[in-house]
Amino acid sequence: MVEIGVAEGASAIGLREVMAPHGTLWLIDPFHLSRHRRVNAMMRAAHRAVESCQNGNVIWTDKFSFEAVKDWNGQIDFLFLDGDHSHEGIQRDWDDWHRFVAPGGVVVFHDARVFPGGWTQPDWGPVRLVDDLFRASGPLPWEIIQEVDSTVVVIKKRKT
């Protein structure tokens, strides 16, 4: 499992709680929004939250996703894209990482859907990307399988 964009760790702790006991959760976030690395409250909160659960293994990667992908060579069963929400940023994450998702694996996009009473807008990067890739195009090896609030889940179809 790979999560790009950890922030305070809320989704990471949820993933760790439900992941396979022998699995590995890679958490990729540069935690660059703090002026002083040693007192980075967001990073410290994320580490504390994720470490409160002992299920599976966790590997922290304190890099931007476009840097971390340079060293990546394994398959991914679950990829959560919640990093840079600009159109260019989410497009880059998709382009860099989706090739590593195994057949039958899923990609979850955060803030990728406009919904009643919600906060997302049609011009947001993740909304535009999901619309362009999965709603406006023809048959692909990917299919939307679930949408809840702003979250969209796609699966990489297995070859038949």
Residue pLDDT, tens place only, 55-112: 999 999 999 999 999 999 999 999 999 999 999 999 999 999 999 999 999 999 999 9
User: Which DSSP string do the residues of 114-125 spell out, in sequence order?
Assistant: --TT-S--TTSH
pLDDT over 70 percentage in the chain: 95
pLDDT in tens, 34-53: 555 566 788 888 999 999 99
**Residue 140, pLDDT score:** 83
Edge-first strand listing for the sheet containing 2-4: 57-61, 24-28, 2-4, 76-81, 101-109, 151-156, 142-148
Q: Where are the domains of the chain?
A: 2-156
| Assigned CATH for 2-156 | 3.40.50.150
